Structure 1
Amino acid sequence: MTTNAPVFPKKKKPVRTSFLEVERRLSAARAAVERMWTPSIEETQRILQARALALAQEALQQGAASEGTQVVEFTLSNESYAIESHFITQIACVENIMPLPCTPAFVLGMVNLRGQIFPVIDLKVFFELPEKELTNVNKIIVLKSGKIIFGILADEILDMRRIPVTDILPSLPTLTGIRKNYLKGMTSKPLMILDAAKLLLDENIFVDEQVTE
């Protein structure tokens, strides 16, 4: 009687891979990945151009931020104002103001500074802002453009600094009163920047006579 014994498959001998073969395969795999992610010459040029453009734009933004307007900051009725420094010839104490008859209420009077006689304007009255009594902190900011010269009364001088161009915003559309016609812009502080050129050219503001001794 014949007995059928179970037949088991022959075990395969393990294939031993040498360390050098493993290194070879890893190197081949890395090379394949690098080839897959390496851009073409055209793609490389496009990437470089995009990076150059981004760097140029960043440089322009930084340059614009570093540029600005030099201003003198002061207060009028507890509000902060500024005026460009290249229109200012000097800042003087308030003294020896000679009243002028038959002039608008905002003309404080005439002063004589270093041989120049010119009017002083009270912008609080001109802008219809609350008035305050004169104190020892009041100052006269002397503005000049060409032959036109006059002073404006400031309640207090705060600072002299440079405002970046990017910080200057258009005047608020909700701002009311005559002062909105004489604003060049404002910052988020808020700091209202007066248009000195417009003030100096406005025939309704000052007496265009000056006397030099």
Structure 2
Amino acid sequence: MTTHSKAANNVIDWAAVRRRMSAAIEQTEALLESAEHDAGASGERHPSLPGPEPAAGEGERLAGVVSFVLSERRFAVDTRYICEIISKARVSPLPGMPAYVFGLYDLRGQLLPVFDLRGLLELQRDIPATADWAVVCGETQPEFLILSESMPEVTELSPEDMLPAHGDGSDGDWGRAMTSDGTVVLDGDLFLNDPRFFLEGEEIAAGDAREKDELQ
């Protein structure tokens, strides 16, 4: 009699994973294109989130966000601050850096820092961080990556779905609002301009040298 092993019953369907990843990337690009089109029509670069109350007769305005998970909590950032979603990022470590600095990632020849936000968001860090999923952040160009414990999702939010942020430190001082399901919506301007995300050029260069040594 042949006994099937437990591993055989848990084979990962990589084709399905690739399809989900491709769908997520396509949704992100579609929302970014839509945001740029709406911004051009209104005279603004992008719609805001959650934004001011719409005038009478204008209707309800939706905003696209990319959400990611850390320590079983979900956070979201407006799509205008997101460039793309990365799967299985090859990250080079940076020794001697703060705990939230996960390493460096080579994005088509551009070295970008990768951050694990759990420490800055005062979240539990019992499980070691991995680079299975990462979100590339930046408004006009890629600036840095943040890790996600599961595949990021692209969704749309209405201003009516928003509640005030707690402001208790659990949003890393970037919290702008919270949805009814507990998702914390981060303020993209505050997030991208946090000085803790700006590494010195010497640190990037050192990481570049280490990565080249590893490849040789």
Change (3 A) 1:180 1:112: closer
Query: Do the aligned residues in 2 keep the contact of 1:72 with 1:157 (CA within 8 Å)?
Result: no
1:120 is aligned to 2:110: no
The structural deviation recorded for 1:139 is 0.9
Query: Please, which runs of 5 or more residues in structure 2 have no aligned partner?
Result: 1-54, 209-216
1:47-62 to structure 2, matched below 5 A, reads 57=56, 59-60=57-58
Q: Which residue of 1 aligns with 2:178?
A: 186
Query: Do the aligned residues in 2 keep the contact of 1:168 with 1:185 (CA within 8 Å)?
Result: yes
1:37-48 to structure 2, matched below 5 A, reads none
Counterpart CA distance in 1 for 2:197 and 2:62 is 28
1:143 is aligned to 2:150: no
Query: Do the aligned residues in 2 keep the contact of 1:148 with 1:208 (CA within 8 Å)?
Result: no
Q: Which residue of 2 aligns with 1:168?
A: 162
Q: Which residue of 2 aligns with 1:207?
A: 199
Q: Which residue of 2 aligns with 1:103?
A: 97
Counterpart CA distance in 2 for 1:82 and 1:76 is 11
Change (3 A) 1:72 1:148: closer
Structure (1 or 2) with the larger CA radius of gyration: 1
Q: Deviations over 1:121-157 (max 9, x none)?
A: 1011221211223457x31100013467000111113
1:155 is aligned to 2:154: no
Query: Please, which runs of 5 or more residues in structure 1 have no aligned partner?
Result: 1-55
Q: Taking every aligned residue pair, what percent have the same amino acid on both sides?
A: 30
The count of residues paired between Structure 1 and Structure 2 equals 149
Question: Of 83, 93, 96, which aligns to 1:89?
Answer: 83
SS in 1 for 2:143: strand
Q: Deviations over 1:52-85 (max 9, x none)?
A: xxxx94x34xx12xx1210012211001111111
Change (3 A) 1:198 1:111: same
Query: Do the aligned residues in 1 keep the contact of 2:100 with 2:116 (CA within 8 Å)?
Result: yes
Say what the alpha-carbon RMSD is for the aligned residues.
2.5
Q: Deviations over 1:178-211 (max 9, x none)?
A: 5251111111111111122212111123315478
